[in-house]
Structures are given as structure tokens and as C-alpha cells.
């Protein structure tokens, strides 16, 4: 199945139209069309090598698709990795990507500065100082919203892994994105941390933000997502609600015995 563009009255937050990615002779994504509705959480699942990371990379502009196009809120969208925040798109990375020599607060502020016009001001002009104070205040609020304000002054590499994951999430959320891309956020987390992550992810659409969740952790995807897309060998083999995906024999086949419901 490929076409499932639904509500024609309002454009989806993100539309992927016929996305194909080839690496030499290998087709990593094969004409994938998928809508991410506004204010919804959409999971992308699939076995190893299915094309999940490749899809994420296309949405982030790491490389352009070989064929196909993207739209953001109905406008043609050519993502550029260094301009994503300004497009209203934020992401977390599998490897966290925090600056080890910076505090938790400074790491979050870096996420804001990436989206602002001048980046962080290095000259301590009065206006610049005020602006930096505002950025720091917003960053602190982002940390507090995730319950980790108490770690603001700690160097990020001294923090427990679960807290670092939250710092990375705060850095993505601080820019108030309209599209949040989460790349395997549950990787390396304990069961309790994953439950907490699930409740955090569920709050994101409250601000109208859409979420794309690329994740191996099937339980988390089933738990938090409004809709789920399943890739297998680069093809979109299923798209639907968690209940529909859990009952889809093609999905069960793709996972070869891995329990999905």
C-alpha cells in the first residue's frame, strides 16, 4: 500500500510523496508516500535495514531523495540540516549529539541559537546580553518542563544517560518546533525511563507539534502513536492505527515472529 493521503481540506504537517532513495544498486526506500498529520504522533517501524534511518535522513536533509518530494504544511520543502530549526523542524539523534564540555543549560540554548538569526552573540553588547538572558530563560523552562531543571548547571557528560536523553529532548523542544523527529529515543533507556519518555512524547502534540518517532521499541510505538507506518525492504507495507498495524499479517510476516501487539 502506498497512497493514504487522507484529509484534503487541511494539508498534512509533512507529506512524503514517492520518496525513493538508491545507494548504487540498492534501493533503500522505494516510492514511499506518507502523510504526517498536524498535531499527531506517527511511528515508523520496520525490521533492521528496512529504511527507517534513511527516511529520517531524507526528512532532515542529510541527503536528498533520488526521486520524490516533500511538503511541509502544504509548501514544497527542501530540508537543509543546518536550517532545520528555522523551518520549524527539530530532531533528536540516536547518539544524543550533546556537547560534552557544555552544561545541560548551554546544550539546550545551543538548540535555540541554531534557529535564531545571529546564533549566539559573542559580543556582550547590551541588546545581545538581554537576548542571551532570554534564550537562557527559555532553555531553563525547557529543562524544567521535563523535570530536569536541577541539572541545568551540570556538565552534560557527567549526567546519567537517561538525563542526557532528556537534555537532548529539551534541546529539540526549546525551539517550539511544528515537527519533531525522534530517532530511536528509547535506545539504551531502562523500562522506567521508557515509560516516562512515553508520557513526555504524549504531551508534545498539545502544542500542535507533530511527531515522527523512528523506533525499534515496538511497545513504545504501539503505546504512544496515533498512526504507524511500517517499512520493509524500503517499501511502505502498512500504515494505520496501532490496532490496525497490530492485526496486519503483512507486518507480522515482516517481523518474522516478533510480537507486535
Ligand X SMILES: Nc1ncnc2c1ncn2[C@@H]1O[C@H](COP(=O)(O)OP(=O)(O)OP(=O)(O)O)[C@@H](O)[C@H]1O
Measuring CA to CA, which residue among 61, 51, 10 is closest to residue 181? 61
Residues forming a β-bridge with 211: 41, 180
Cell numbers given for 36: 504526517
Span of 51-59, 148-156, 192-200, 202-210 interacting with ligand X by CB under 6 A:
51-59
Span of 47-55, 77-85, 118-126, 136-144 interacting with ligand X by CB under 6 A:
47-55
Distance CA 43, CA 36 (A): 10
Interaction of residue 26 with ligand X, rule CB under 6 A: yes
Radius of gyration of the chain (CA): 19
CB of residue 32 vs ligand X: minimum separation in angstroms? 11
28 sits in which H/E element: strand 26-36
Span of 41-49, 70-78, 146-154, 244-252 interacting with ligand X by CB under 6 A:
41-49
3-state secondary structure of 143: helix
Total residues binding ligand X (CB under 6 A): 11
252 sits in which H/E element: helix 249-255
Interaction of residue 15 with ligand X, rule CB under 6 A: no
Cell 518530494: give the residue.
69
Question: Residue from 10, 23, 78, 258 that binds ligand X (CB under 6 A)?
Answer: 23
Interaction of residue 65 with ligand X, rule CB under 6 A: no
Interaction of residue 46 with ligand X, rule CB under 6 A: yes
Helices and strands per DSSP (H, E), number in the chain: 8, 10
Interaction of residue 28 with ligand X, rule CB under 6 A: yes
Which CB sits closer to ligand X, 43 or 111? 43
CB of residue 9 vs ligand X: minimum separation in angstroms? 33
Interaction of residue 54 with ligand X, rule CB under 6 A: yes
Interaction of residue 53 with ligand X, rule CB under 6 A: yes
Interaction of residue 81 with ligand X, rule CB under 6 A: no
Interaction of residue 37 with ligand X, rule CB under 6 A: no
Distance CA 45, CA 87 (A): 25
Residue 102 has, within 13 A of its CA and on its CB side, a CA count of 15
Q: Which residues make up the interface to ligand X (CB under 6 A)?
A: 23, 26, 28, 46, 48-54
Amino acid at each position: 500500500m502506498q497512497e493514504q493521503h487522507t484529509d484534503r481540506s487541511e494539508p498534512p504537517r509533512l507529506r512524503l510523496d514517492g520518496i525513493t532513495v538508491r545507494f548504487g544498486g540498492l534501493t533503500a526506500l522505494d516510492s514511499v508516500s506518507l502523510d504526517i498529520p498536524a498535531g499527531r504522533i506517527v511511528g515508523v517501524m520496520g525490521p533492521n535495514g528496512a529504511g527507517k534511518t534513511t527516511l529520517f535522513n531524507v526528512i532532515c536533509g542529510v541527503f536528498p531523495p533520488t526521486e520524490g518530494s516533500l511538503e511541509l504544511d502544504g509548501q514544497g520543502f527542501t530540508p537543509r540540516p543546518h536550517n532545520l530549526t528555522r523551518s520549524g523542524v527539530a530532531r533528536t539523534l540516536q547518539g544524543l549529539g550533546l556537547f560534552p564540555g557544555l552544561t545541560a543549560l548551554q546544550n539546550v540554548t545551543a538548540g535555540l541559537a541554531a534557529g535564531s538569526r545571529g546564533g549566539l552573540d559573542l559580543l556582550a553588547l547590551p541588546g545581545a546580553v538581554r537576548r542571551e538572558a532570554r534564550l537562557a530563560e527559555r532553555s531553563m523552562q525547557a529543562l524544567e518542563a521535563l523535570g530536569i531543571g536541577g541539572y541545568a548547571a551540570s556538565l552534560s557528560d557527567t549526567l546519567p544517560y537517561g538525563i542526557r536523553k532528556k537534555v537532548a529532548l529539551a534541546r529539540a523542544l526549546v525551539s517550539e518546533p511544528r515537527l519533531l523527529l525522534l530517532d530511536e529515543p528509547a535506545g539504551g533507556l531502562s523500562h522506567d525511563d521508557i515509560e516516562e519518555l512515553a508520557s513526555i512524547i504524549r504531551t508534545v502534540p498539545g502544542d500542535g507539534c507533530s511527531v515522527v518517532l523512528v523506533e525499534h521499541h515496538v511497545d513504545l510505538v504501539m503505546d504512544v502513536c496515533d498512526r504507524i507506518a511500517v517499512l520493509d525492504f524500503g517499501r511502505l507495507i502498512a500504515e494505520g492505527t496501532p490496532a490496525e498495524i497490530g492485526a496486519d499479517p503483512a507486518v507480522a510476516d515482516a517481523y518474522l515472529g516478533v510480537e507486535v501487539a
